[in-house]
């Protein structure tokens, strides 16, 4: 009954968005804002006078997966944008080196690092022509404009348009960074035909293998599928669903067989061949990177995502998704973390309803209180620290909103 009640409320809410006559405005506003940001990034990367342009240098030396590497570049780009410096990447020791450049367009049309110019270390000063920015784990002083900060002049419009503006902002940076080359567009189109990708479809990303050693817990396929089922039950309230589908992406190829065996009423879209290239041994090859791009692409095109946000890969798919829809901030179910950007400042919630504790694990809330969010327990409660009372504990998630 609770589930049905919940779905019925969601249906009412989505109907509100349809009848308010603003859907065309939302679409236009998101396109206009996206064009604005993409043009700004392009101008930043292609200064009219390259010899005098101020540059920010980022080295790509991190030994981690694609999502982690890409988020490192996003962090560099945010700092470059905020300090109005052209971003230059040093690909020399990068695991993806030339492969990356075969798949994506370069950050700038032609020129890159200025030669014979001294390089200052972060934070440098206004006159430094080139500043080297270390990875976010070691940067000092920490740049204040990291997430949750968004560009001041866009903030008002974004908070009207989008449920979680920071995801939109990161999504725009990722959109610029992952501008595909023609051959990559062809590859994605070929896969769309080969896999018969069509909607409705729920993207399911299941991260296993090395991630389970110390970073994340194992979740069974069935745990993901409960949320997929909920999505389709919800959809059925607004009309018949002829065929239920999932796009499955995983680094554990055997899950394709398990999904087909246990969920015969579903069309399982995706490639177990790609999944095989996701094993630790193959990850840095061109084949693996292309497979990964294919998986991220189709996850982001899905109607809804079910995954673990402890995985950077799924967070990237979600960020891209938010550059494709005017507001995709609720099109996900994470089985573990809330959405976050590595190295970000704390995520803040604001109490919109007051709360009196029922036991020693909970904290009081007054309307207007600000709370540092530690995590969502996905059982109706979140954990955080009330900045007014300094107390740490649980509080009902519905009594707060994103600040």
* Contact residues: ligand GDP, CB under 6 A: 64-68, 205, 207, 211, 249-251, 274, 278, 283, 288, 291-292, 295, 311-313
Query: In this complex, which beta carbon is closest to ligand GDP, that of residue 289 or of residue 365?
Result: 289
To ligand GDP, the closest distance from the beta carbon of 170 in angstroms equals: 15
For residue 221, give every residue at least 6 positions away whose Cβ sits within 8 Å of its Cβ, in sequence order, or none.
206, 255, 258, 259, 262
To ligand GDP, the closest distance from the beta carbon of 321 in angstroms equals: 15
To ligand GDP, the closest distance from the beta carbon of 211 in angstroms equals: 5
Q: Please state the φ and ψ torsions of residue 342, each to the nearest 5 degrees.
A: -55, 125
Classify residue 12 by its DSSP letter. H
Please tell me whether residue 255 adopts helix, strand or coil conformation.
Answer: helix
Query: In this complex, which beta carbon is closest to ligand GDP, that of residue 177 or of residue 278?
Result: 278
To ligand GDP, the closest distance from the beta carbon of 69 in angstroms equals: 7
Contact 249, 314 (CB under 8 A): no
Q: What is the 3-state secondary structure (H, E, C) of 264-276?
A: CCEEEECCHHHHH
Report the alpha-carbon distance of residue 350 to residue 372 in Å, rounded: 9
In total, the chain counts a number of residues equal to 403
Report the alpha-carbon distance of residue 150 to residue 166 in Å, rounded: 6
Q: Closest Cα to residue 247, out of 189, 301, 315, 193?
A: 301
To ligand GDP, the closest distance from the beta carbon of 331 in angstroms equals: 18
Report the alpha-carbon distance of residue 211 to residue 162 in Å, rounded: 31
To ligand GDP, the closest distance from the beta carbon of 11 in angstroms equals: 31
Query: In this complex, which beta carbon is closest to ligand GDP, that of residue 98 or of residue 236?
Result: 98
To ligand GDP, the closest distance from the beta carbon of 339 in angstroms equals: 13
Residue 250: other Cβ atoms inside 10 A: 24
Report the alpha-carbon distance of residue 300 to residue 251 in Å, rounded: 17
Query: In this complex, which beta carbon is closest to ligand GDP, that of residue 145 or of residue 340?
Result: 340
- Tell me the residue nearest to ligand GDP as measured from the CB: 65
Contact 302, 205 (CB under 8 A): no
Contact 320, 171 (CB under 8 A): yes
Query: In this complex, which beta carbon is closest to ligand GDP, that of residue 210 or of residue 327?
Result: 210
To ligand GDP, the closest distance from the beta carbon of 68 in angstroms equals: 4
Q: Please state the φ and ψ torsions of residue 222, each to the nearest 5 degrees.
A: -60, -35
Contact 105, 180 (CB under 8 A): yes
């Amino acid at each position: 009954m609770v589930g049905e009640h919940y779905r019925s409320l969601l249906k009412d809410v989505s109907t509100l968005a349809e009848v308010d006559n603003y859907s065309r405005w939302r679409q236009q506003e998101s396109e206009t804002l996206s064009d604005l940001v993409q043009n700004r990034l392009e101008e930043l990367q292609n200064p009219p006078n390259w010899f005098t342009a101020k540059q920010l240098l980022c080295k790509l030396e991190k030994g981690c997966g694609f999502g982690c590497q890409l988020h490192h570049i996003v962090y560099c780009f945010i700092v470059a944008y905020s300090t109005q410096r052209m971003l230059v990447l040093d690909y020399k020791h990068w695991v993806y080196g030339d492969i990356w450049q075969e798949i994506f367009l370069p950050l700038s049309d032609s020129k890159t690092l200025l030669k014979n110019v001294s390089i200052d270390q972060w934070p440098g000063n206004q006159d430094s022509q080139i500043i080297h920015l270390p990875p976010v784990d070691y940067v000092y002083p920490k740049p204040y404009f990291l997430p949750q900060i968004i560009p001041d002049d866009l903030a008002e419009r974004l908070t009207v348009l989008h449920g979680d503006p920071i995801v939109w902002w990161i999504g725009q940076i990722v959109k610029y960074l992952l501008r595909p080359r023609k051959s990559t567009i062809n590859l994605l189109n070929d896969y769309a035909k080969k896999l018969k990708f069509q909607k409705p479809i729920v993207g399911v990303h299941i991260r296993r293998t090395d991630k389970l050693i110390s970073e994340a817990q194992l979740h069974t396929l069935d745990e993901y599928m409960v949320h997929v089922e909920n999505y389709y039950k919800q959809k059925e309230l607004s009309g018949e669903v002829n065929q239920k589908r999932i796009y499955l992406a995983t680094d554990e190829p055997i899950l394709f067989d398990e999904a087909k065996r246990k969920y015969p009423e579903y069309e399982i879209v995706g490639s177990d061949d790609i999944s095989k290239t996701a094993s630790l041994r193959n990850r840095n090859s061109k084949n693996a990177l292309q497979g990964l791009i294919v998986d991220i692409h189709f996850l982001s095109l899905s109607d809804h995502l079910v995954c673990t946000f402890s995985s950077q890969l799924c967070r990237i798919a979600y960020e891209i998704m938010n550059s494709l829809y005017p507001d995709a901030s609720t099109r996900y179910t994470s089985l573990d973390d809330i959405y976050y950007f590595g190295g970000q400042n704390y995520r803040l919630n604001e109490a919109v309803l007051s709360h009196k504790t029922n036991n020693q694990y909970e904290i009081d809330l007054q309307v207007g209180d600000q709370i540092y969010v530690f995590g969502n327990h996905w059982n109706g409660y979140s954990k955080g620290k009330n900045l007014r009372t300094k107390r740490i504990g649980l509080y009902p998630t519905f009594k707060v909103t994103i600040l």
